[in-house]
Amino acid sequence: MSHRRPLAAGCVLALAALALTAAPAVARHRTADSPVVPTAWNPPPGMIEALERDLGLSREQVHARLANEARLAPVEEDLRHRLGPHFGGSWFVGTTAQVLVVATTDPADIPQIIAGGARPEVVGTSMTKLVSTKKKIDEVLLGRPKGGTVSYIDVKTNKVVVLSKETSETEVIMKSIDMDGAVVSVLPSGEDPRPFYDLVGGDPYYIGTVHRCSIGFSVTRGAQKGFVSAGHCGKVDETTTGFNRAAQGVFRGSTFPGSDFSWVAVNANWTPKPLVNNGSGGTVRVRGSRVAIEGASVCRAGSTTDWHCGTVLQRDASVAYPQGSIYELTRTNVCAEPGDSGGSFVSQDQAQGVTSGGSGNCTTGGVTYFQPLGEILTTYGLTLVTDGGSPPAAAACKGYPKNVTGRLSAGQGAYQPDNRYYRASVTGLHSGCLDAADGVDFDLYLQKWGALGWLTVALSEGPGPDEKIDYTGTPGYYRYRVYASRGSGPYALGFRAP
């Protein structure tokens, strides 16, 4: 399932500048077109590149947009409070969000909107009325047959908008419940919203109305997405629902007895993730499927008993279940209980297999067997979903006193160390060494803070995964930028400062 954490409403965003002192307070009479005021927040890795790509902006425009959004946010909050019941909404205008528009139902508010640093606009309906109208629509119109699929407040048109595939019928329903046509607008739309859910190892899924098993690992077969689990959980063509009882998928392969594995093809609402639940609200990232040595630690995720660990005892075990014998299982001293079947076994960040069965329980302890993953993938022609493998060893860049690691997708960048910078107090040599995974093209840049912001003072843009920089620089603030020009994967960066 998705776990999203929205940014706190009061956090201060910033951009192109490195703030060495506290950010200045918002001036009362600053206009919306006044210069950017930098603050102390650096965009997370990949954000700048994604905004360039998706908004069609230059890097300078992206930085300016983020700065303007941060600068004008407290302006909007202050004016919203001051206008009270007259407030009619607010929005940004311009490629770089350089203008904040604040709407009011009272023309007398225009001077204070201008003085506050925004552009005024007079509208006919207050935000309070728009909100109450939308609430009524959501209660009695949205979701009814022919009643529309989406509703929202459009501050720019000062209306509540209902999107519908059958506008005439929706308008008839709207009139029957006395909706004000001056406030509500019905627009034709082909939108067909649906929820999105994540496939995470250890999460429950249901077969029919009473049987429950656990997801093993996310997989793909060509363009088809799915997951692997135990064979005794379901038969071919049986359907599944997810942890939330939403329609999920269908068993496309199932083997039991003899072996004990299956795979489920899921619908478009479900997204495979290289994750396994660790039972404490967190997840373990799956980076590969290297087989663990006997005696290695191993942990299991399941929907009944969550997260339990032990060691690999023996391999190639044969077990006689009442339903028939199973061969080539791996034996562990990890406990499990009914409902954990199919769940993930991992050793560190390497996928091992799916829970088959065992004896005992998680109160007194037990023995549990898992079906090794390799046979499942080979039998059904599946590909394990991973996050790209473990970070490369720093040995290729050995001898550097500072070392950091990370992972990038194609087109993403990251600032190091740790999305921050370091200070050089004397003139001297700055050395950086980048080691990325084979088959990718990662580039390395050294940047220095100056009067115009961060400037690139040295770079290495070779065609492969490894780059080195040696640069003699004066005292100041420096940082490295790692950029994925082609391919995705982990990287290690070693560096030293004078």
86 noted as active-site residue: no
Specify whether 260 is catalytic: yes
Helix axes 47-55, 59-83, angle to 10 degrees: 90
Annotated catalytic residue: which of 203, 260, 435, 466?
260
Which residue among 232, 262, 390, 430 is the active-site one? 232
3-state secondary structure of 62: helix
Element (H, E) at 54: helix 47-55
487: left (phi over 0), alpha (psi -120 to 50) or beta: left
Distances (CA, A) of 240 to 208, 214, 246, 308, 385: 7, 11, 9, 25, 20
Q: Which helix (H) or strand (E) holds 495?
A: strand 489-496
Q: Which three-class secondary structure state does DSSP give residue 122?
A: strand
Nearest of 451, 458, 264, 477 to residue 376 by alpha carbon: 264
The three state secondary structure string of 89-107 is EEEEECCCCCEEEEEECCH
User: What is the distance between the alpha carbons of residues 128 and 470, in angstroms, rounded to a whole number?
Assistant: 60
All residues at 6 or more sequence positions from 400 whose CB lies less than 8 Å from its CB, including other chains: 394, 431, 433, 494, 495, 496
Point out which residues pair with 372 in neighbouring strands. Answer: 353
On whether the CB atoms of residues 493 and 466 are closer than 8 A, the answer is: no
CA separation for the pair 318, 329 (Å, rounded): 6
Task: Output DSSP code: residue 291.
Answer: P
CA separation for the pair 166, 189 (Å, rounded): 8
The distance of Cα 259 from the centroid of its chain, to the nearest Å, equals 35
- Half-sphere exposure of residue 272, counting CA atoms within 13 Å on the CB side? 26
Reference 275, options 342, 346, 216, 200; nearest CA is 200
Q: Which amino acid is at 7?
A: L
Element (DSSP H or E) covering residue 61: helix 59-83
Q: Work out the angle at residue 387's Cα, subtended by the Cα atoms of residues 436 and 238, and round it to the nearest 5 degrees.
A: 155
**Look-up of token digits 């307070």:** 25
CA separation for the pair 272, 200 (Å, rounded): 7
- Of 289, 341, 356, 488, the catalytic one is 341
Q: Which residues neighbour 8 within 8 Å (Cβ) at sequence distance 6 or greater?
A: none
Q: Distance between the two ends of the chain, CA-based, in angstroms? A: 47
Q: 366 has which bridge partners? A: 360
**Which parts of 305-424 fold into alpha helices (H)?**
373-380
Q: Any catalytic annotation for residue 232?
A: yes
- Residues annotated catalytic, as ranges: 232, 260, 341
